[in-house]
Structure 1
Amino acid sequence: MIRISVLYLNIILGFIAGKFAKVDNDNMLRFLFFVLSPIVIVKGISSITNFDALILPVIVFTMSCMTCYCINKAKPLFSDKSLNNIISFGTASSNTGHFGLPIALFLLDEHAVSIYILAFSGMTLFENTYGFYVISHGNFPVKYFFKRLLQLPTLYALVLGIIMSGFGIHFSSIYDDFFQHIRSSYIIIGMSSIGFGIARLKSIDFDFAYIMVIMLVKHFIWPLIMLILVYIDIHYFHIFVCDPDAYFVMLLLSVLPVSATTMIMGGLFKYPESKISIIILFNNLMAMVYIPTTIVYVFYPFIKKFIIVID
């Protein structure tokens, strides 16, 4: 738990830099998105040896779509209908990149990171297809969603990594230091970007009902479903029994906070920025405590127990 908590020092540094040094968060995120992220993804995916892991993005995409659909259909439960679509998106989309990937790089070995990267591609697919459709109220043609996908550098990095893995093409060991520096840079900039975002928050509009919905879905329903799926696979399907790293990746993905993409999409379609900001901020702050606590006191004991069962 202490090891994970140390990672959050980067968020504090990001907040200080954003608040007092006025660091340009937008340019940092562009560098992260267009340069560092594709390199990390290519390196990670090219290391995959277990192609059963290809089912993980399908699982993540399906869960995201189902979550978004169910919450969206629950709109009669909430008084402020204007936020329903964006909240539906938020409950189904996790911060797999700026928040989750640095944690994965920090905690996991190269093999497990490659599985994590492959799995979160399902979340990226959701955000740019069905998720975008829900947020935009269905006002865009299908071809627009394909155009969005083709503009994602992470998509090309993912395809290149799969091709390299399939043909057994690997990077020479002389580049190990380079990739290690890239990983370290991604961890620092990725986590610091959360601090930058907190520093830029100008107003607060607290919506208790929607915050509770986000908390319930992200911190209870997602982990519960993933735990059930892991349990079922261990005892019945045995898809990942020989590669337990896949189980930890599934569980890690289930506890990540709301994606920063929710804020970007909200601004694009003129949703109330002050309400969305505080919802995302509150969820990310809670995640700083919730994630290490859940990993240490729930996931690790669960994993140790099923590894014994497997053995």
Structure 2
Amino acid sequence: MAVDPTSLMGPLWTLLAFVALGVLSARRLKVDPRPIATLLIYLIAPLTFFRALVLGGPTPVYLALTAALFVIASLVAVLINRLGKRWLGDEEGSVLAFSAGTGNTGYFGLPVALVLLPPSGVTLYLFCALGVTLYEFTVGFYLSARGRFTVRDSLLKIARLPLIYAFLAALLVEGVGMTVPAAVTDAMSVFPATYTLLGMMIIGMTLGRVSVRSLDGRFIGACVAVRYALWPLLMLGAVLLLKATTGLSQDMALALLLIGVVPMAANVVVVAMELGIAPEKGALAVLITTLAAPLVIPLYLSGMLGLVQ
């Protein structure tokens, strides 16, 4: 199966247009991105997450995918956290650790999944992506907070994150057999698009304030290596193992491989800004990996799918 690079250009240019709007907002309108980051973390992300879970109809198999990706992301982040703090220092090491466990599975990966996968494959991809998102707002947020705060303060910050409770509420709704009215889910349909728009604009707003001094070659190089070297190899190994033991379907293989090749998560900037930890450096790294995505993703996916078929 070959991946056509032109199929990725639509999502890429849309995301870059949102970044450009963010740059204009910061430079011309002097918009402060920090309140927007808070709005994303404490309101828009939880509602987006809740709606996706309710509509997806979580089953034990789907939730197993979510749990597996959550564990993988957490283990990668913990490993990189130990290495990164020795090499980069506490704050930059914490941002690197957070970014190591996640990727742009939502803003960038989902539009690509809609192009490459049938509806059933998109559902598989979504529940894999939910595991990564759950990592971001639990283990990932804790590791980032530890770059500046004590253990107690970091745990308190996690306890205040509503996304955790949105996840539990969605499981409760499914567990007791409740049906969320269609009018409610329809009204909440504005949140996924808002999540994407504001998430990418925050990158632009942060870049609008970046100076040459923010360019940190070691930090950016480490981010790129983790995202475009470690994760593709990790997901390829997982797919080969599952293929040999369980007879993994082609759609499931592509969903997992796509998780491994998306660019860095825009939430790296959102969380860094909320915690006040090196958001400019994170924004540059996110932009670089996003610009590389149209070249990297078709090349990686075509090569890896050839190995697993």
Which residues of structure 2 form unaligned runs of 5+? 1-7
Which whole-Å CA distance do the structure 2 matches of 1:115 and 1:198 have between them? 30
Amino acid at match of 1:231: L
> Judging changes above 3 Å, is the alpha-carbon distance between structure 1 residues 115 and 169 closer, same or farther for their aligned structure 2 residues?
farther
Question: Is the Cα–Cα contact under 8 Å of residues 97 and 143 in structure 2 kept in the other structure?
Answer: no
Task: Tell me by how many angstroms 1:230 deviates.
Answer: 1.9
Aligned to 1:260, the other structure's residue is in SS state: helix
> Judging changes above 3 Å, is the alpha-carbon distance between structure 1 residues 207 and 129 closer, same or farther for their aligned structure 2 residues?
closer
- Picking from 139, 148, 151, the partner of 1:140 is 151
Q: Are 1:55 and 2:60 matched, yes or no?
A: no
Task: Tell me by how many angstroms 1:82 deviates.
Answer: 5.8
Q: Are 1:124 and 2:153 matched, yes or no?
A: no
Question: Is the Cα–Cα contact under 8 Å of residues 235 and 256 in structure 2 kept in the other structure?
Answer: no
Which whole-Å CA distance do the structure 1 matches of 2:90 and 2:128 have between them? 37
Which whole-Å CA distance do the structure 2 matches of 1:181 and 1:188 have between them? 11
> Judging changes above 3 Å, is the alpha-carbon distance between structure 1 residues 260 and 245 closer, same or farther for their aligned structure 2 residues?
farther
> Judging changes above 3 Å, is the alpha-carbon distance between structure 1 residues 267 and 65 closer, same or farther for their aligned structure 2 residues?
same
Q: Are 1:102 and 2:107 matched, yes or no?
A: yes
Question: Is the Cα–Cα contact under 8 Å of residues 87 and 214 in structure 1 kept in the other structure?
Answer: no
Q: Are 1:161 and 2:166 matched, yes or no?
A: no
Question: Is the Cα–Cα contact under 8 Å of residues 22 and 203 in structure 2 kept in the other structure?
Answer: yes
* Residue-by-residue CA offset, 1:37-74 (whole Å, 9 max, x unaligned): 12211111122344223334444444444434444554
> Judging changes above 3 Å, is the alpha-carbon distance between structure 1 residues 21 and 254 closer, same or farther for their aligned structure 2 residues?
same
> Judging changes above 3 Å, is the alpha-carbon distance between structure 1 residues 165 and 247 closer, same or farther for their aligned structure 2 residues?
farther
> Judging changes above 3 Å, is the alpha-carbon distance between structure 1 residues 185 and 44 closer, same or farther for their aligned structure 2 residues?
same
Which whole-Å CA distance do the structure 1 matches of 2:221 and 2:208 have between them? 24
> Judging changes above 3 Å, is the alpha-carbon distance between structure 1 residues 15 and 244 closer, same or farther for their aligned structure 2 residues?
same
> Judging changes above 3 Å, is the alpha-carbon distance between structure 1 residues 281 and 61 closer, same or farther for their aligned structure 2 residues?
same
Amino acid at match of 1:211: I
Task: Tell me by how many angstroms 1:214 deviates.
Answer: 2.1
Task: Tell me by how many angstroms 1:198 deviates.
Answer: 0.9
Matched with 2:3 is: none
- Picking from 259, 277, 280, the partner of 1:277 is 280
Which whole-Å CA distance do the structure 2 matches of 1:44 and 1:246 have between them? 22
Amino acid at match of 1:212: G
Matched with 1:113 is: 126
Q: How does 1:135-284 map to 2 (within 5 A)?
A: 135-136=147-148, 139-141=150-152, 144-175=153-184, 177-202=186-211, 204-238=213-247, 241=248, 244-245=251-252, 248=255, 251-252=258-259, 255-257=262-264, 259-260=268-269, 263-264=272-273, 267=276, 273=278, 277-278=280-281, 280-284=282-286
Amino acid at match of 1:289: L
Task: Tell me by how many angstroms 1:81 deviates.
Answer: 4.7
Amino acid at match of 2:42: F
Amino acid at match of 1:294: V
| Alignment size in residue pairs | 290
* Residue-by-residue CA offset, 1:191-242 (whole Å, 9 max, x unaligned): 212111111224524332332222212211112111211221122145xx36
Question: Is the Cα–Cα contact under 8 Å of residues 223 and 255 in structure 1 kept in the other structure?
Answer: no
Task: Tell me by how many angstroms 1:297 deviates.
Answer: 3.0
| Backbone CA RMSD of aligned residues | 3.4
Aligned to 1:128, the other structure's residue is in SS state: helix
> Judging changes above 3 Å, is the alpha-carbon distance between structure 1 residues 297 and 233 closer, same or farther for their aligned structure 2 residues?
same
Amino acid at match of 1:159: L
Amino acid at match of 1:255: V
Aligned to 2:31, the other structure's residue is in SS state: coil
Task: Tell me by how many angstroms 1:305 deviates.
Answer: 7.6
- Provide the identity percentage: 15
Which whole-Å CA distance do the structure 2 matches of 1:28 and 1:210 have between them? 25
Question: Is the Cα–Cα contact under 8 Å of residues 199 and 270 in structure 2 kept in the other structure?
Answer: no
Which whole-Å CA distance do the structure 1 matches of 2:101 and 2:241 have between them? 24
Matched with 1:42 is: 50
Matched with 2:5 is: none
